[in-house]
Structures are given as C-alpha cells and as structure tokens.
Structure 1
Amino acid sequence: MVAQFGEQVRSALRARGISIREAARRLTYDPAYLNRVLNGRQAPSPQLVKRLDDLLGAGDAVVGLAALLPPDDRGRVSRSIARPARLDRRVVDALAGVLAAQRRLDDAVGAAPLVRPTEAQLLTVKQLLRDARGPHRDALLGVVAEYVQFAGWLHASAGNYVEASVHLYDAVELADEAGEGTLAAQALNFRGYIARRQGRPAAVARWFDAAYRTPGAHAAQRMGDAAQAAQGYAQLGERETAKRLLGEAGDLADAAREQPPGTAYWLTPDFQRLSLGLAHLGMAEYGTAADHLRAGLDGLPVEQRHADWTAEYRAALEEAERAR
C-alpha cells in the first residue's frame, strides 16, 4: 500500500497538467530520481515530500501521507496481508491513518487523482477483512466500511455516479455490520449529494431524510442532513415540511458544535452554514441563503477553500446573489 503514495502524487500532478519532467524542472530535482520516487522504486526524502506538497498546494496533506507508515509498520501491514490471522491493532490503526490522510489529500488535490489508487487499496483491505480472524477484526471492519464509503465519495465527486452508488450501498451494509451509525449516516448523505448533483429533488429529500433519521448519527451530521433534506422538500413544493426540518436543524445547533466524528471532520459550524444556505435557496429566500453561503465559504479552513466540492456552494452563492 505504501507504493500507492507515488501513484497518488503522480496522478495529482497529471490532473494539474504537470509531467514528471516538468515537476522535476520546477523543483530543481533530477528527473530520474523523481521518476523512481513516483513509481514506487525509491523512498522520497523529507525535503522532496515538502516540495511536492508546495507544488500541489496540498497544505501538508502530501507530507502527512508520506509520514504515515514508518518501515516497521510497513512490515506489519505486509505480514498481515500475507497472514491475516496475525492481524494486530497497530496494523488497523496504520490503515486508518492512511485513510485519514487521503481524505485530507482529497480536499487539497481533488477526487480524480485518488480514485484509482484508492480502488487498489480498497481491494487489499477488503481481502484482509475477508480472511482476518481474532480480536481486531471488528476494528478492521469499521476501517473497511470507511474505505468503501470514501471510494464512493471519490466516485461521486468525480461524477461517476453508478460506481459511487454501488460503493455507498456496500458502505451502509458494512457500517450496519460494524454498528457504526455515523458511517451509515454519512454514506446515505453522499447518496443525497449524488441526487442533488443529478437534479433529483425527490431523491435529495429521501436520502438526506434517511441520513437524518439514522440511529447513531452524530448531532453535527443530523443538523446538516435535516437542512439538506429541507432543500429537497422545498424544491418539491412541500414548504411546510421544509420549514419544519429547518427548525429541527436549528434545534440541533448547540449539540452540533461538539467535535464531529473523525469520519465527518468537516462538519464545523461554518460548514453547517453551507447546508443552511442551500436550504434557504431551495425556499427562494435568497438574501438569507446568500448570507449563509458566503459566511460558510469564508469560514472554511485554508486547505478546503478551493476543494472540488466547494464549486457547488460557490455556484449556489452566485445564484442567490443574482436573485436577491
């Protein structure tokens, strides 16, 4: 799985129209050395990792990804893949760390460069889960459920809706098996996101409503899901239902300020304003929508402000500003 680092960085460079030779020129590194690193034949130096991070504008996401698996943990992961019965908690934690870093990398470089390497990693962790035994399998199950969900998100963000829907269906099944309500709710939320991208308000209302009512969902998830379900109902002309859900979202605001789950780390109070903005836009309350959307975008962390997924909210803000 460590070899995937080079593929992810190589894909991110390609998505920006930068060849390995051009990257080497900009970084003043030997092209042959950079080629070996990005093709997994040589470990990168810390200096090169930092320079690549700066070149991609990744906000230390590349640095974090490169630092995740020291040699000892690499050996543990390889041994566990070869002999799943020897799975230990350190391996599970290492895999969870790789996944967390890839989520941050998605914010910085976008979904498209990560689809292929994530799919390759997903095959590995699913095989490990299939063959694993012992006391750490349940912890691995939660990590695999999140891996499947993340793959679904990447496909959804890249516009591959069929592949995304298949992964997200599996993610709900795995989350239920693991007893992870937060993961199940997030997978349903991503189904709602796909429906919104496709312009299907009935499906928007259905999926976000289902996420809102999922047992075990965090208050921050439920607040955002209620607001986004309200948008779908408003677009269907069910204004009273939309108003009720917006009220319920507001009732959750205080509880939602608690630290969100790591699997939904982006659900800050500022991000919630983006969901509220979409809901008010659906209700044709353009001034309120514009205020929420602008505040939400301005409040995003620096590394998220130009993420692919922000384009939807920027377009919504432009629409609200035009109509107010």
Structure 2
Amino acid sequence: MDDFGSRVRALLTERGISLRATARALTYDPAYLSRVINGRQRPSEALAAALDGLLEADGALVSLAAPEVHPPESSAERATDVEGDIAHMRASVAHLLAHDNRYGSTAVAPAAVQVWRAEQRKLDRGTVPDRARAGYLSAVAELAEIAGWLLFDSRQWDASRTAFLESHLLARQAGDRAMEWFALDMLAMHDVQTGRAGEALRIADELLTGLRVPPRIALLARVRRGRALAQVGDHRRALNALEGARAGLEESISPRDPAWAWWVNDTEITGHEGEALLAAGEARAAIPTLQRALELASVHFPAGRGTLYYSVALLSAYATTHAWRECEATLVSINTLLETVTSERSRDRLRTTLRVMARQPDAPPALLDLARHTAEAS
C-alpha cells in the first residue's frame, strides 16, 4: 500500500489540496484517511474510487489499491480463477463509476450490463465453489447495482428496476447487509423518479425502523422519504425529513457506515433540498440552494455529469421564475457540457425545460434562438 499512499500524497501536492479538505470533500474521517495515505491501513475499494475521481487519476489509484492476483498454482487453479473474477468485478465497478462521474452513463451502461450478466451466468450455472459463493454473490450484487444506476441515468427505467431488484436478491443471498441497504436505497430513488411514491415511502420506513441501521443509511432513507412526500404534495413533512437528513450529515461518519456511502455528502443533500423546493412550487427559494449544489458538484468534476445535472435543475428554476438573463448564461454553460457529457436523464429534463421556455410569451427572442440551438444539441 506504500505505492498507493505515495501516489495519493503526490497528487494532493500537485493539486494543492490538503488532507483535511480531501476528507471534507469525500465525507471521510480525516484520521482514517491519514492512516490510509501513510500506509498504516488498506484503503477500501470505495475510498480508492473516490480519491481516483477527486484527484482525476484516471483509474491509477483504483489499480494500485486492487488486491494482487497471483498466478494460479496447479492445485488451486479454480480458486484463483474465482478470486481473479472477483478482483475484475471490483475493478470494473471503479472504472465504470469513474467514467460515469466524468462523462455520464450512456456510453458505459451497456458495458456494465455485459459484465454483470456474464458473471451472473457463472452463478446460474452453479460453477462457483461453495466456499467462494458468498463473496462472488456480493461482487455480482454490486455489479448489478452499478448497472442499475447507469441504466437509471440513461433513462432505461424498466431495465434499471430489474437490475436493482436482482442486486437486492443477490445481496440477501450473500448475507451482505450493506449491499442490501444500497439496493433498497436505489429502488427508492428509482421510485421517486418514476412516480412510485408509495413504494419509496415503504422502503424508507423499512430502513428507518430496521435494527442497527447505520447513520448514513438512515440519512439516505430520510432523503428518499422527503422526496417522496414532496411528490405527493406533503411539502411541510418533506422539508422536515430533509432537515433531518441535513442534521445527520453534520455528524461524524460512524464505523458502521458501509464503504459505498462515501458519496453521501453536502452536494447530495443540498441538491435534494433544492429539488424538494422545486416540487413544492417554491422555485425562487430553490434557486440559491441549487446554485450551491452546482458549486459543490463543480469542485470535483467541473465538466462532469453532476455539473450537467445541477445546471439543468437550476435552468428549470430560472425558467419557472422567468429569470431570462440567468437562463441565457446557464444555457451557454450547458451547451459546453453537452459536448462531452451523455447523461440521458439530464438531457431529457433539459429538453422538457426548453419546451416550457419556448411557450413563454415574455421570453426574449435571442434566448429562444439559443434554446432551439441547445435542443438540437441535446
């Protein structure tokens, strides 16, 4: 792990980022991060992927953190094959997510499905040794979850839901409680997006009433609950739920929080607060919140998927309030992002917002021309 720590230290120095700022940006405990960087503790796969994305290492940190796979010995060839498959799955997850953060999901969603289905077939054929099955199930569950997320961002709703359901089943069979929680959270997210508020509320309640549910999982459940309540028009309780999530974010990360929860940070909560205000018909109040979410997202990937997502959300708020000058400035930046980011979820929302703008009689002609150009590019 010396190579990993040395590389991280060099990148932090090169980027001018302090350890404390890194811990704050990734919502990790500074002491844990210090132990990892100084070679006293092995990094989790999630931390390696998070650092790789933050420091724009293009997969180098993920590769350095990956478990070493030795050539097989003749007496244990099959066991080593299984270990190699699991290592490949873990590395695939990190690379797929790194691409998604930078360029969006559309191009890599088919690759994620391909890797997931290939490994799923090995399970279905019963060729995985019993002693390795739990770890294999867990790794395939994570692949299914990542495929589900990428399909979700690509607006392939049915395929995404199938992947999340499969991930939940595999995680349960593996006895991987943390991955079960992840799959349930993703299902609740999917429900909010596709109008299944009732199911989202049931999932949130299940997570919030479970025994020994880690703080970050409870926080996410409050977020999904808040968004679902906003969807059914219960705006006061929606904002209360999100306030509870915000309060939970201020607490230190618990050792019981799963490694995958690294992305639950200020950007995530701020964005959901802005979206809930939009759903409540309070677009003017949503604007500063969405501006803050965009600012936070742009720190890590100024031209990435998150930046496009929050730019489009902010454009929606500006259009609702007829803030035409701000619409124009935002559209200019969005056009640049569209050259490289292929998130179909954001592009579809953009097209919807542009159609709304086109129907406004007081929208300036120059803005409408820019909107038409943007619609063609999207």
**TM-score range relative to shorter protein:** 0.5 to 0.7
Among 263, 267, 286, the alignment partner of 1:289 is 286
Residue 260 of structure 2 is aligned to residue 263 of structure 1: yes
User: TM-score scaled by structure 1?
Assistant: 0.65
Structure 2 counterpart of 1:164: 160
User: What SS does the aligned partner of 2:297 have?
Assistant: coil
TM-superposed CA distance for 1:84, in Å, is 4.5
Q: 1:192 to 1:88 in 2, by over 3 A?
A: closer
CA distance in structure 1 between the aligned counterparts of 2:58 and 2:205, rounded to whole angstroms: 33
Among 86, 93, 96, the alignment partner of 2:90 is 96
Counting matched residue pairs gives 262
Alignment of 1:297-312 (within 5 A): 297-300=294-297, 302-308=299-305, 310-312=307-309
TM-superposed CA distance for 1:66, in Å, is 7.5
Q: 1:100 to 1:288 in 2, by over 3 A?
A: same
TM-superposed CA distance for 1:270, in Å, is 2.8
Structure 2 counterpart of 1:152: 148
Structure 1 counterpart of 2:104: 110
TM-superposed CA distance for 1:127, in Å, is 3.7
CA contact (8 A) 2:63 2:91 kept: no
CA contact (8 A) 1:221 1:267 kept: no
TM-superposed CA distance for 1:91, in Å, is 5.3
CA distance in structure 2 between the aligned counterparts of 1:183 and 1:285, rounded to whole angstroms: 35
CA distance in structure 2 between the aligned counterparts of 1:96 and 1:59, rounded to whole angstroms: 19
Structure 2 counterpart of 1:141: 137
Q: 1 or 2 for the larger relative contact order (CA 8 Å, sep ≥6)?
A: 2
Among 246, 249, 255, the alignment partner of 2:245 is 249
CA contact (8 A) 1:280 1:286 kept: yes
Q: 1:300 to 1:240 in 2, by over 3 A?
A: closer
Equivalent residue letter for 2:177: G
Moved more, 98-107 or 274-283: 274-283
Q: Deviations over 1:154-189 (max 9, x none)?
A: 111111111111111111111222333332232233
User: What SS does the aligned partner of 1:300 have?
Assistant: helix
TM-superposed CA distance for 1:274, in Å, is 1.3
Residue 271 of structure 2 is aligned to residue 274 of structure 1: yes
Mark the runs of 5 or more structure 1 residues left unpaired by the alignment.
1-57
Q: 1:62 to 1:222 in 2, by over 3 A?
A: same
TM-superposed CA distance for 1:278, in Å, is 2.0
CA distance in structure 2 between the aligned counterparts of 1:215 and 1:114, rounded to whole angstroms: 36
Q: 1:244 to 1:179 in 2, by over 3 A?
A: farther
CA distance in structure 2 between the aligned counterparts of 1:64 and 1:250, rounded to whole angstroms: 31
Structure 2 counterpart of 1:122: 116
CA contact (8 A) 2:185 2:220 kept: no
CA distance in structure 2 between the aligned counterparts of 1:212 and 1:310, rounded to whole angstroms: 30
Structure 1 counterpart of 2:194: 198
Q: 1:186 to 1:96 in 2, by over 3 A?
A: same
Equivalent residue letter for 1:185: W
User: What SS does the aligned partner of 1:112 have?
Assistant: coil
CA distance in structure 2 between the aligned counterparts of 1:133 and 1:245, rounded to whole angstroms: 45
TM-superposed CA distance for 1:148, in Å, is 0.8
Structure 2 counterpart of 1:177: 173
Q: Deviations over 1:253-281 (max 9, x none)?
A: 23365686432432222322112222333
Q: Deviations over 1:105-134 (max 9, x none)?
A: 221222122122222221332244442225
TM-superposed CA distance for 1:98, in Å, is 2.8
Q: What value does the CA root-mean-square deviation take over the aligned residues?
A: 3.6
Equivalent residue letter for 2:171: A
Mark the runs of 5 or more structure 2 residues left unpaired by the alignment.
1-54, 322-378
CA distance in structure 1 between the aligned counterparts of 2:286 and 2:201, rounded to whole angstroms: 18
Q: 1:160 to 1:235 in 2, by over 3 A?
A: closer
CA contact (8 A) 2:297 2:307 kept: no
User: TM-score scaled by structure 2?
Assistant: 0.57
